[in-house]
Structure 1
Amino acid sequence: MDMDKSAQPKKKDFWGFPLTHFTYFFQWQIINGYLTLWLEQVGHLNGATAGMVFSMMAGISLLFQPAFGVISDKLVFKKNLIITIAVASMLIGPYFQWCFMPLLGISPTFVAIVTGIFLSFIFNGGVSVIEQYVQRAALANGFEYGHSRMGGSLAGMVASFVGGQIFLMAPNSIFWANSVMGLCLTLLLIFSDKIHMENAAAAGGTSDASLDMSQIGQIFRMRNFWILCLFYVGTSALYDVFDQQFIIFFKTFFDTAAAGTAAYSYMTTAQIGLEFLLMFPMPWLINKIGSRNGLIAYGVILAARIIGSALAPNLAVVIILRLLAGFEMPLVLVSIMKYIAGAFDVRVYATVYALASNFAKQISVFIFSTVAGNWYDSIGFQHTYMILGAIVAVVTVIAAFTLKKEDPVQAGEISAK
């Protein structure tokens, strides 16, 4: 007797997507981990010029992110933009090998501007394109975004280790490693990442569906959008600010800077490893408690961790609190992807994600970084952490009472009947 075809399990075409995450975030980790060192040792840039590169990356991303969000919502599953970003990443090796030094000869300021725009296109702006594309694929294909994102966590560990080794052998090789990964990413997008278009409606329809600017404009009239922005500004942005100079605070518990640096490296590796492991069960947990509650739980844990670091009596407590970040990141990454899908019109998914979790966050990180830096110098780490932790706690309480409940079916937390 023939089996009922409808009873057969659907093929999810999953494995290309964690590899996509791996190839992209390997590049991300290499640039974030070793670009500063290369600019100093090979490019011979002073601190001000090197800082201008990163300032340009952050500043230009404020133009790329909203534009990429709108374009992504119009394209949906068409790969024009995402493949353009992947191809651009293939050019990182040639750019730093053959173009950077000649441009530096023209003007250090000019090379900082060009480099910042180039890298911002690929990373600071491009990250939301990659993330929303995989999340939409997860909704259409029926797999969990968090399981694909494990590829990104694994890439962080591998790139941190491999990047240091190849940098010592030949500094420019870190950029050629990016080009190789860019080629792999391009091939994956073209040949491997298959979308079940029969389920496209679950992820915002197809690119043939009309999406006009009036629908984009409606986002700004949604109370829940502004609450989500406030939540991200008051939690995730402050996480980044808290993290920026944490290594300096951490070293105060050691007799020598070298010992502190070595211990910090081991602790960070353990944290990323924990993040990787927890990415697997996290979608199950969020499906149980709901993505809105997952975001609130993230805020509670973050507030406790920042305030706890200020009050920590010894190194062991600081390390335990730091390792909690390995739980926080899977929690917020899975929750925000499901929450936006479940609480907003999925047709404007990429725009909401780009504006709420990237654009607003970048602006607040820029502002808070300067303010917190002054506080570190004037009132010390402990008092600054108390203030940052209190802000996170207040914002989390506000969100707990005002953030809209998501639709669990639309969010992919439960299956449609």
Structure 2
Amino acid sequence: MQNNASAPQKKESKHFWGFPFTHFTYFFMWQIIFGYLTLWMEQVGHMNGAEAGVVFSAMAGLSLLFQPAFGVISDKLLFKKNLLFTISIAAMLIGPYFQWVFLPLMHINSMLVAIVTGIYLCFIFNGGVSVIEQYVQRASLANGFEYGHSRMGGSLAGMTASFVGGQIFLWQPNSIFWACTISATILTGLLLFSDKVDMDNASAAGDTSNSLDLKQIGKIFKLKNFWYLSIFYIGTSAIYDVFDQQFIIFFKSFFNSAAAGTQAYSYMTTAQIGLEFLLMFPMPWIINRIGSRNGLIAYGVILAVRIIGSALSPSLGWVIFLRLLAGFEMPLVLVSIMKYIAGAFDVRVYATVYALASNFAKQISVFIFSAVAGSMYDSIGFHHTYLILGAIVAVVTFFAAFVLKKEDPVQAGEEDEHGNAKA
């Protein structure tokens, strides 16, 4: 499939501020769920490591149905918000679900809980994240702003949710889910009244509403680079998710009380995401200079060091230091993947490639490894499990460094038409 350079885009920044707030409200919920769901399932739901792993596996497995469909639908809808509204309204029910549905189901059958929760949460998060991300990315092309600058809202949300989530969890564990309901209500309002797109410049994001067909989508699977990118995500970002799922349990083992560990975790995660927030501002500038492909490889290297280092950490101080490295990882991968897909693939199938390579393929690995890692945590411990996960990341990153194709820097938005790196 040939890369189609996008039409020249106007340099304007109107209609920017709604999008960072959209990122904030969505990723506030994301951080609450993925930061504290495991702890809630352990302390309130009374699940062990293997049972919690099954919940995440169910989420990942069922997202394999949502993500390809969401990618194709997003490429067809382009700037229409039908799917976005469906996701935000579903998220408004998170509080009622965990307050009045989850625990009664736990008394009936834990596997039933895993399946129902997996369907529900993966619709909102595992599947929905690609819908949110590609929408803002396309809006950034049409409105003339850097996607990474909008994504700072997501980083700020992660920092806020990590701190607030830890405090309200200690006060009342179920309150974390009602915080998600409030955030989703605000998100719905933003989608209704705030997020505006310069439709006069919509062609900069690729007018796929009439031109995209299944034949073009099918060509994606014939591209070697699509499979290489998928393998990279399976072996890096998927492992990151599995590593992170029960990290709070590992972290708490360094403390004498669960409450002290939970509070320290909220402070540490707040600091980590604060660093992520600060780095999101210069990261587009950095990626424009080193290239998005190199940004992805740098992400893999840092992730491998962090996971293996956690396994070998002699003290809590080292664990905290390595956790803070995640503040470098996320800006690298978030900015790099958006630019890389735009520069290495046909812009008309942007959302489909993003959904399939960076989400669908990743979730295959999460589906497989979540339950396996949960059992390994119980049987061989966190340290040995982390060594295995870190080794996988290192091997896959080394492989990707040799096989991922170089992106077109102009199409990726890294250079202007004269070959100069964008400011």
TM-score between both structures, scaled by the size of structure 1 = 0.86
* 1:77/1:206 contact within 8 Å kept: no
- The alpha-carbon distance between structure 1 residues 105 and 13, as it changes in their structure 2 partners (threshold 3 A), is same
Aligned to 1:349: 350
Are residues 1:24 and 2:26 paired? yes
Larger deviation, residues 218-227 vs 102-111: 102-111
Aligned to 1:361: 362
Per-residue CA deviation, residues 98-155 of structure 1 (Å, 9 max, x unaligned), is 6667777887655654343222211221111001111111111111111111111111
Are residues 1:150 and 2:147 paired? no
* 1:138/1:144 contact within 8 Å kept: yes
* 2:59/2:126 contact within 8 Å kept: yes
Mapped partners of 2:377, 2:174: distance in 1: 35
* 1:298/1:332 contact within 8 Å kept: yes
Structure 1 residue 86, shift from structure 2 partner: 1.3
Structure 1 residue 34, shift from structure 2 partner: 4.1
Per-residue CA deviation, residues 9-41 of structure 1 (Å, 9 max, x unaligned), is 624311000100111111222333444555677
Structure 1 residue 310, shift from structure 2 partner: 4.1
Larger deviation, residues 186-195 vs 89-98: 89-98
Aligned to 1:4: none
* 2:66/2:123 contact within 8 Å kept: yes
Per-residue CA deviation, residues 217-250 of structure 1 (Å, 9 max, x unaligned), is 1111000000001111122222233334445555
Larger deviation, residues 102-111 vs 226-235: 102-111
Q: What are the ranges of 5 or more consecutive residues in structure 1 without an aligned counterpart?
A: 1-7
Which of structures 1 and 2 has the larger relative contact order (alpha carbons within 8 angstroms, sep 6+)?
2
Structure 1 residue 356, shift from structure 2 partner: 1.1
Aligned to 1:199: 201
* 2:57/2:368 contact within 8 Å kept: no
Aligned to 1:141: 143
Mapped partners of 2:51, 2:380: distance in 1: 29
Paired letter, 1:291: S
Mapped partners of 1:53, 1:134: distance in 2: 29
Paired letter, 1:64: F
Mapped partners of 1:262, 1:170: distance in 2: 14
- The alpha-carbon distance between structure 1 residues 373 and 21, as it changes in their structure 2 partners (threshold 3 A), is same
Aligned to 1:282: 283
SS in 2 for 1:406: coil
What is the identity percentage for the equivalent residue pairs of Structure 1 and Structure 2? 79
SS in 2 for 1:220: helix
Higher Rg: 1
Mapped partners of 1:319, 1:39: distance in 2: 24
Mapped partners of 1:51, 1:312: distance in 2: 24
Q: What are the ranges of 5 or more consecutive residues in structure 2 without an aligned counterpart?
A: 1-9, 419-423
* 2:88/2:185 contact within 8 Å kept: yes
Per-residue CA deviation, residues 173-200 of structure 1 (Å, 9 max, x unaligned), is 4433323322221221122111122222
Mapped partners of 2:370, 2:108: distance in 1: 31
Structure 1 residue 59, shift from structure 2 partner: 2.2
Mapped partners of 2:245, 2:120: distance in 1: 23
Aligned to 2:421: none
Per-residue CA deviation, residues 300-359 of structure 1 (Å, 9 max, x unaligned), is 222233333444455444432221111011111110111111111111111111111111
Structure 1 residue 379, shift from structure 2 partner: 5.8
Larger deviation, residues 185-194 vs 382-391: 382-391
- The alpha-carbon distance between structure 1 residues 59 and 284, as it changes in their structure 2 partners (threshold 3 A), is same
Structure 1 residue 201, shift from structure 2 partner: 2.2
- The alpha-carbon distance between structure 1 residues 253 and 178, as it changes in their structure 2 partners (threshold 3 A), is closer
* 1:339/1:411 contact within 8 Å kept: yes
- The alpha-carbon distance between structure 1 residues 398 and 246, as it changes in their structure 2 partners (threshold 3 A), is same
- The alpha-carbon distance between structure 1 residues 228 and 172, as it changes in their structure 2 partners (threshold 3 A), is same
Mapped partners of 2:227, 2:60: distance in 1: 22
- The alpha-carbon distance between structure 1 residues 39 and 408, as it changes in their structure 2 partners (threshold 3 A), is same
Larger deviation, residues 281-290 vs 99-108: 99-108
Aligned to 1:116: 118
1:187-226 equivalences under 5 Å are 187-207=189-209, 209-226=210-227
Q: Which one of 70, 74, 80 corresponds to residue 78 of structure 1? A: 80
SS in 1 for 2:222: coil
Are residues 1:180 and 2:182 paired? yes
Aligned to 2:305: 304
Aligned to 1:390: 391
* 1:200/1:206 contact within 8 Å kept: no
- The alpha-carbon distance between structure 1 residues 113 and 398, as it changes in their structure 2 partners (threshold 3 A), is closer
Aligned to 2:233: 232
Structure 1 residue 64, shift from structure 2 partner: 0.5
1:309-388 equivalences under 5 Å are 309-373=310-374, 381-388=382-389
Are residues 1:402 and 2:414 paired? no
Aligned to 1:64: 66
